[in-house]
Amino acid sequence: MDIPILETRDDFVLYTDVDVIFLKHPELKEPVDILGVVPEERDGAIMFNNGVMVMNVPALRADHASFVAAIRARVLNDFKYPAHDQASYNRRYRKRFTEMPRSLNWRPYWGRNADAAIVHFHGPKADQARALERGEAGDIHPPLQALWQSDPEGYRYYCEIYEDLERGEIGQSSGRLSETTPR
């Protein structure tokens, strides 16, 4: 929310949550008026996931005070946990975003994608996906289990890349990464 106030040099910023892996250099071909995001449908409504956003800094800076006031009103009046930031961004910019390709905010539960540039572990994180793979659901929230069940192979594939990256054992020569990266 405060990136437009903190950033003073660049007009555009790529924001990501911490639960992402970069498989390729992300490329955005469309100009972004306010926010560039990947839309998704939930209960018939078009929403977006704000785990990966291209932010038009001057446009968001111009709207910052009003956005903060709207967030304050939401938190004080009808706040519902979780997803405070996502709900706030969606309420404010639902009809004013630039659609980015899904490859820039790809989810493991969508399966493998050779075009994915940014993979977002939205839902089960890598360690939770591995626990589910071992049959150890434990206290993993049922909706997260359902996401994993929609494509366990997608999770397995991206968890392997994630684990290789964690160990520092992956690069252009890696078999898995070279499957997703054009030469």
- With cut-offs at 50, 70 and 90, classify the pLDDT of residue 1: confident
CA 145 and chain centroid, separation: 18
Q: What is the pLDDT of residues 130-176, one digit of tens each?
A: 999 999 999 999 999 999 999 999 999 999 999 999 998 876 544 55
Say which range, 29-33, 99-103, 122-126, 150-154, has the weakest mean pLDDT: 29-33
d(CA 129, CA 58): 39
Q: Report how far residue 110's alpha carbon sits from residue 102's, in angstroms, rounded to the nearest whole number.
A: 10
- Tokens representing 36 are 């560039």
Q: Which tens digits make up the pLDDT trace of 22-72? A: 999 999 888 899 999 999 877 767 889 999 999 999 999 999 999 999 988
User: How many CB atoms are located within 10 Å of the residue 84 CB?
Assistant: 13
Amino acid letter, residue 13: V
> Residue 133 burial by CB count (10 A; 0-12/13-18/19+): exposed, middle or buried?
middle
Q: What is the pTM of this model?
A: 0.87
Amino acid in the structure at residue 67? F
Of the pLDDT bands very low, low, confident and very high (cuts 50, 70, 90), residue 105 is: very high
Q: Which domains does the chain have, with CATH numbers?
A: 3-102 (3.90.550.10), 106-180 (no CATH)
Is the per-residue pLDDT at 181 higher than 60? no
Using the predicted structure, report yes or no on whether residue 14 has a pLDDT greater than 90: yes
pLDDT at 179: 53
Q: How far apart are CA 48 and CA 72, in angstroms?
A: 21
Whole-angstrom Cα distance, residue 26 to residue 77?
38
